Amino acid sequence: MITRREFVKVLAGGAAVLGVLKLVSLIPSGARGDIVRPPGAVDKEYFNALCVRCGICLEVCPTKAIVLAGFEDGIAAVDTPKIDALIEPCEFFRGRCEEVMLCSKFCPTGALQPVDKEKVKLGTVELNPDRCLAYMGKECVVCDEMCPVTDAITLTRDLKPVFHGDKCVGCGTCINACPADPKALTLTSKGAKRAKWLR
């Protein structure tokens, strides 16, 4: 039978584990705390809880744009899907995804939801003129040519790109194509429009 000592020992063990988990959850996320999610991702407050890290979205993505978040993205977000434009941009807006959004169609928990193309905004791309080849006097309009959205990037009269944050959908196509080294463009989740989670 169970002795009282054994019972107390087990209870103490459970409390200790809960304490450790609380401490682990308090570890601050690194500099890259904000994560660019695939299209259709639900609100920030629910996403980490809803995602079961099954890896279905990264398998079904036809362009392999979905990668897994690492420890630098925060301890609660490890292995959740994210878009890393330096590896592969999200091609949803270019139509290479065949307009079906396989990631959200296959997501078993609804962490990624099917949404209208017009309502999606993954984040915003920002330009650093100090690194941009066009601003350094060379001829380069790659970002403007690659951009799938009309008027998100406009060119000035002397062919320098200007980014319009309100039109940008944050797919990262321009970053992936940018020939500057280091890249002149950065993608953040600023202004991202997430899907509403329907319980």
Partner 1 sequence: MKIGIIEALRAITASLVILIFAVAPIFGLMYGTTCALTFGSFTVISPLELALVSLGTKTILVSLIVPGLIVILIIVFFGRFFCGWICPVGILLEYSHILTERKERKGVGTLWKNKEKYAILLAVLAASLLFNFTAPYLFSPPGIVYRTIIYFISHGIVGADLTVLLLIFILDVLAIRYGRTWCDTLCPLGTIISSLSIVNLVKPKVDQKRCIDFDFNCLNCERICPMRIPLTRADNWAMMDCNKCLKCWMNCPVKAVKLEVFGYG
Q: Which residues bind partner 1 (CB under 8 A)?
A: 1-3, 6-7, 9-11, 13-15, 17-18, 21-22, 24-25, 46, 48-50, 52-56, 58-60, 64, 67-71, 75-76, 78-79, 87, 106, 108-110, 199
Residue tagged 């629910």 (tokens): 46
- Of 60 and 141, nearer to partner 1 (C-beta) is 60
- Scanning 107-198, the segments in alpha helix (DSSP H) are 142-146, 173-177
Residue tagged 């939801």 (tokens): 113
Q: Which amino acid is at 150?
A: T
Q: Closest separation between CB of residue 90 and partner 1, Å?
A: 14
CA pair distance 130, 37, nearest whole angstrom = 28
Beta strands in 47-141 (DSSP E): 66-68, 81-83, 124-127
Nearest to 175 by CA among 140, 132, 125, 106: 125
- Of 64 and 164, nearer to partner 1 (C-beta) is 64
- Of 72 and 145, nearer to partner 1 (C-beta) is 72
- Of 47 and 163, nearer to partner 1 (C-beta) is 47
Q: Closest separation between CB of residue 145 and partner 1, Å?
A: 27
